[in-house]
């Protein structure tokens, strides 16, 4: 656990370590081929829960494990669609929030099963939009959450997709960061978030942010997702 006097350098190190472990978890998910035809979203969620426990002793996730495939990939985070079994030529994304030694990670990636060119195009556009969003953040020291959200939406349209979510990121930190942030718009990359993102939180600590990109191809009926730390790494 962190303490009030813990140096910022230690907080940064622990957030980056949590993300590194999340990346290792995703690498193992891919190595084992867990995202596969014939598996249901809920079954895959349980398999990932067990894998995270085996690899890192993870027993908690700060938000629900979001496993979406096919038409369910169009839906925002808070939706609760019926369980769906992945098909041979499917698209799916994982949005996971494992807690590593009281530090939150939030990491998302998209997987394409098969060789559908539209699905591959969306998957490949996701990191480009994310990187361009980070470049905009880096280039504008006083950027607000609302401004970054608007710009990421523009980037999505430039790539030929819609932006599919009401937010494009949020604060992240020691578990549970929600006790610090609550549900105010200023703690999200979203419309109405009009304070500079580079600031301190209500406890006086530097704010650290996740940037998340949800692109959708409305005509084809699918989407994809990509997220990781914005201001660190």
CATH at 221: 3.90.230.10
Whole domain around residue 195: which residue ranges?
Answer: 8-229
Asked if 143 contacts 137 with a C-beta cutoff of 8 angstroms, the reply is: yes
Note whether residue 174 is domain-resident. yes
**Domain count along the chain:** 1
Tens-binned pLDDT, residue by residue, of the chain (233 aa) = 334 557 999 989 989 998 999 999 999 999 999 999 999 999 999 999 999 899 887 776 656 788 999 999 999 878 889 999 999 999 999 998 878 777 888 899 999 999 999 999 999 999 999 999 999 999 999 999 999 999 999 999 999 999 999 999 998 865 445 554 556 888 899 999 999 999 998 788 899 999 999 999 999 999 999 999 999 98
Specify the pLDDT at position 64.
78
Distance CA 32, CA 219 (A): 32
Note whether residue 92 is domain-resident. yes
Specify the pLDDT at position 114.
95
Note whether residue 1 is domain-resident. no
Note whether residue 34 is domain-resident. yes
Asked if 167 contacts 188 with a C-beta cutoff of 8 angstroms, the reply is: yes
Considering the entire predicted model, what is its pTM? Answer: 0.91
* Closest of 47, 100, 109 to residue 73, by C-alpha: 109
Which residue is it, tokens 């978890």?
Answer: 25
Name 93's bridge partners.
Answer: 68, 110
Note whether residue 2 is domain-resident. no
């Amino acid at each position: 656990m962190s303490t009030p006097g813990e140096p910022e350098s230690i907080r940064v190190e622990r957030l980056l370590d949590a993300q590194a472990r999340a990346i290792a978890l995703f690498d193992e998910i891919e190595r084992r081929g867990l995202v596969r035809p014939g598996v249901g979203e809920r079954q895959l969620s349980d398999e990932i829960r067990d894998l995270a426990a085996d690899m890192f002793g993870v027993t908690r996730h700060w938000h629900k494990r979001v496993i979406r495939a096919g038409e369910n990939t169009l839906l925002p985070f808070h939706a609760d669609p019926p369980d769906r079994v992945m098909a041979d030529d499917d698209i799916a994304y994982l949005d996971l929030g494992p807690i590593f030694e009281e530090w939150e990670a939030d990491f998302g990636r998209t997987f394409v099963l098969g060789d559908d060119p539209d699905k591959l195009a969306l998957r490949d556009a996701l990191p480009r939009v994310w990187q361009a969003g980070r470049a905009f953040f880096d280039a504008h020291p006083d950027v607000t959450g609302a401004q970054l959200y608007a710009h990421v939406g523009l980037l999505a349209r430039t790539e030929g997709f819609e932006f599919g979510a009401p937010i494009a990121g949020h604060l992240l930190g020691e578990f549970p960061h929600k006790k610090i942030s609550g549900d105010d718009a200023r703690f999200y990359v979203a419309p109405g978030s009009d304070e500079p993102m580079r600031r301190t939180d209500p406890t006086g600590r530097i704010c650290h942010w996740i940037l998340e990109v949800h692109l959708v191809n409305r005509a084809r009926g699918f989407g994809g997702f990509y997220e990781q730390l914005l201001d660190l790494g």
